[in-house]
Amino acid sequence: MTNEVVEIILRQLFQGNPQRFDKFLGDKEADFAYVSKTGTPYRINAFFKT
């Protein structure tokens, strides 16, 4: 995946909470729960690898 594709996916996951996406960009990491439209729960861990 390209950086652009990953950013698009993460923006979708953070949809409805742009402040949390900005915090992710600042902290370079995020760990949160996500529930899909079908009700399936997921645990998301995203981070920048340096």
Nearest Cα residue to 46 out of 16, 8, 37: 8
Of the chain, the end-to-end C-alpha distance in Å amounts to 17
Please state the domain extents for the chain.
3-47
How distant, in Å, are the alpha carbons of 33, 38, 48, 49, 50 from that of 25?
A: 18, 28, 9, 12, 14
pLDDT at 17: 87
Asked if 12 and 43 count as a contact pair (C-beta separation under 8 A), the reply is no
**pLDDT tens profile 1-50:** 998 999 999 999 998 788 999 999 999 999 999 899 999 999 999 999 87
Tell me phi and psi for residue 17, to 5 degrees.
-145, 70
